[in-house]
């Protein structure tokens, strides 16, 4: 009976830890929203920035798996280069290790205070504050689970069965590593596995070499869930997650024979012996990052050979199934998924133009006509599909949803036309003629490009979630775009009056790009109009009332 109580307490403590981790991830996602995704997507211009982006994202989400899946989605859409993505995951691995090290520093006493602050924030009306409150509650639960784990593992000191089992593992480090990898995989968290190892290690039952073997296994098992989750994704996403698994696997195999030596080396440092698992976890991931960093380019090439592209690219609709037309709810969901893919194509087009504008690289523009042709074809397929759905008889709500999806697809197609027929020749002219904008003008256009891409990402979320707060934010950003366009035009005219040669050369180009980006944002913001209208928040006219 005593052993049953111990197991219930142990499993309950682990479950609480996993629940706390999930709360932190959900809360951070809600609090940071698109900023987290945007920061991760744009913070990969160099190796160090990519590493830091993965490190910071994992500290915020408390999950290297979440960071890996987010990064793989960016690689799939060609927002991050494969080599930079591998650097992001190296940073994510270190981020998880640092989290474990911080959690194990004996700050459980903060748990009640974090609960209090978290509840206060969660009860506020702001979605961002509610997310921050959820994250703080999750951290408090994690700290509380550590306290409970410590109590749950205390009776294990006197367990003959556990002593025998640990003795067997101590004589078979490879088996110990595989066992810890299985625990880490089943919990989908290397952090949870390391914390469990920390709790058992505090009983003094584990030798230094066995601790290292178990921590290596936790690292290995934590790399498996992203691989499984990306199996149905693109080749680029599968290369990324498989590459991370290869890096961790090779690192574990190299470190395992020297497990006792590594433990002895760490014991010579002025570190508490009770924290050996988290110290090993951090030291291993730092060493792994240092060794894999210079090999990231070779690793990306190797993964390309191991996971080649499909022989034929399929640019046909992926989700429009005619058999689903008999079930309008399912058909509308499929149409929404398809139109999100069109939005991803538009995002790639905008990123190509933005990169070409900043880097004077004409090669970035070659794919735009191909992408625009795909956009035209897919939006036409979506319209035909939804027109067939309309013949089956839709409820009032389903009819409104169908119109929203069609309108969004049409607006995306208009954006594609503006990019291909407006921005593309404008940026090509800049590159071909070697035109140089003034520093201020260049920064103004670069900021507007980035804001436009951010707004598109928000609009994609709004289409699916129909979140009223996000819709309000997007409407407010439309005003910000208008102000930025007006301010940049006025500053440009001032530079012309001052006789600036660079402004004189790029005058029409500057104003044309401003105009096109403003038009694109108008199409993007349109996704918020139906939501605002349903809530009675959208006026029919922007004209102010004038007393006659």
Q: Of 309, 322, 323, whose CA–CA distance to 381 is shortest?
A: 322
- Range scoring the smallest mean pLDDT among 171-180, 208-217, 262-271: 262-271
Question: What span, in angstroms and rounded, lies between the C-alpha atoms of 418 and 398?
Answer: 30
Structure letter (DSSP) for residue 365? G
In this prediction, residue 469 carries a pLDDT of 82
* Whether pLDDT at 411 is above 90: yes
- Mean pLDDT of all residues belonging to the chain: 80
* Whether pLDDT at 548 is above 50: no
Structure letter (DSSP) for residue 257? G
Token duo for residue 167:
């003795």
**What is the b/e burial string over 492-522, where b = at least 16 CB atoms within 10 angstroms of the residue's CB?**
beebeeeebebbebbbebbebbbebbbebbe
Which comes out higher in pLDDT, residue 73 or 42?
A: 73
Which class is 322-534 in CATH?
A: mainly alpha
Q: pTM of the entire structure?
A: 0.58
Percent of the chain having pLDDT more than 90?
9
Q: What is the pLDDT of residues 45-58, one digit of tens each?
A: 667 778 877 787 77
What's the average model confidence in pLDDT over 176-191? 82
Q: 């078979």: which residue's tokens?
A: 172
Which comes out higher in pLDDT, residue 257 or 169?
A: 257
Query: Between the ranges 82-96, 161-175, 500-514, where is the mean pLDDT highest?
Result: 82-96
Q: What is the pLDDT of residues 377-389, one digit of tens each?
A: 998 999 888 888 8
For residue 1, name the pLDDT band (cuts at 50, 70, 90). Answer: very low
- Range scoring the smallest mean pLDDT among 148-162, 188-202, 254-268: 148-162
In this prediction, residue 195 carries a pLDDT of 79
In this prediction, residue 32 carries a pLDDT of 64
Question: What span, in angstroms and rounded, lies between the C-alpha atoms of 490 and 467?
Answer: 35
For residue 413, name the pLDDT band (cuts at 50, 70, 90). Answer: very high
- Range scoring the smallest mean pLDDT among 39-48, 275-284, 456-465: 39-48
| Chain-centre distance for alpha carbon 65 | 10
For residue 313, name the pLDDT band (cuts at 50, 70, 90). Answer: very low
What's the average model confidence in pLDDT over 338-349? 91
Q: What is the pLDDT of residues 115-136, one digit of tens each?
A: 888 888 888 777 677 878 887 8
Residues of the chain with CATH 1.20.58.220: 322-534
Question: What span, in angstroms and rounded, lies between the C-alpha atoms of 99 and 283?
Answer: 13
């Amino acid at each position: 009976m005593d052993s049953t109580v111990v197991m219930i307490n142990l499993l309950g403590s682990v479950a609480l830890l996993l629940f706390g981790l999930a709360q932190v991830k959900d809360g951070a996602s809600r609090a940071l929203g698109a900023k987290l995704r945007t920061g991760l997507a744009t913070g990969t211009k160099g190796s160090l920035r990519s590493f830091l982006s993965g490190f910071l994202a994992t500290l915020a989400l408390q999950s290297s798996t979440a960071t890996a899946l987010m990064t793989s989605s960016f690689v799939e859409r060609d927002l991050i280069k494969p080599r930079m993505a591998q650097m992001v995951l190296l940073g994510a691995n270190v981020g998880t290790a640092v989290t474990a090290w911080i959690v194990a520093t004996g700050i459980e006493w903060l748990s009640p205070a974090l609960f209090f602050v978290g509840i206060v924030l969660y009860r506020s009306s702001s979605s961002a504050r509610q997310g921050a409150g959820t994250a703080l509650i999750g951290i408090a639960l994690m700290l509380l689970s550590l306290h409970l784990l410590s109590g749950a593992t205390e009776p294990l000191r006197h367990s003959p069965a556990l002593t025998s089992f640990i003795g067997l593992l101590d004589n078979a480090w490879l088996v110990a590593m595989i066992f810890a990898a299985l625990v880490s995989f089943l919990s989908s968290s290397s952090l949870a596995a390391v914390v469990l190892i920390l709790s058992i290690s505090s009983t003094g039952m584990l030798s230094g070499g066995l601790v290292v073997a178990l921590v290596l296994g936790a690292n290995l098992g934590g790399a498996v869930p992203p691989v499984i989750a990306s199996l149905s994704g693109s080749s680029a996403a599968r290369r990324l997650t498989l590459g991370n698994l290869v890096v961790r696997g090779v690192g574990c195999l190299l470190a395992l024979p020297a497990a006792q030596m590594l433990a002895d080396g760490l014991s010579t440092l002025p570190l508490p012996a009770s924290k050996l698992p988290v110290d090993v976890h951090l030291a291993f991931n730092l060493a792994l990052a240092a060794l894999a960093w210079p090999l990231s380019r070779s690793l990306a090439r190797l993964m390309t050979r191991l996971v080649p592209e499909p022989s034929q690219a399929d640019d046909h609709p992926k989700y429009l199934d005619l058999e689903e037309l008999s079930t309008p709810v399912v058909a509308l969901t499929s149409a929404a998924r398809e139109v999100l893919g069109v939005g991803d194509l538009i995002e790639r087009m905008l990123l190509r133009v933005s990169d070409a504008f900043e880097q004077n690289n004409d090669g970035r523009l070659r794919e735009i006509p191909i992408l625009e042709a795909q956009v035209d074809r897919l939006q036409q397929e979506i319209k035909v599909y939804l027109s067939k759905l309309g013949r089956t008889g839709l409820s009032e709500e389903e009819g409104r949803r169908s119109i929203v999806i069609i309108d969004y697809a049409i607006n995306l197609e208009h954006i594609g036309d503006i990019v291909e027929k407006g921005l593309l020749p404008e940026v090509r002219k800049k590159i071909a003629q070697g035109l140089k904008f003034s520093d201020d003008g260049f920064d103004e256009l670069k900021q507007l490009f980035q804001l436009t891409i951010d707004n598109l990402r928000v609009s994609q979320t709004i289409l699916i979630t129909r979140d009223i707060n996000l819709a309000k934010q997007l409407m407010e950003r439309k005003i910000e775009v208008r102000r930025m366009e007006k301010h940049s035009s006025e500053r440009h005219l001032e530079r012309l009056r001052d006789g600036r040669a660079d402004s004189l050369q790029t005058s029409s180009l500057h104003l044309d790009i401003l105009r096109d980006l403003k038009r694109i944002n108008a199409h993007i913001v349109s996704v918020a109009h139906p939501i605002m209208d349903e809530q009675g928040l959208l006026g029919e006219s922007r004209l102010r009332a004038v007393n006659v």
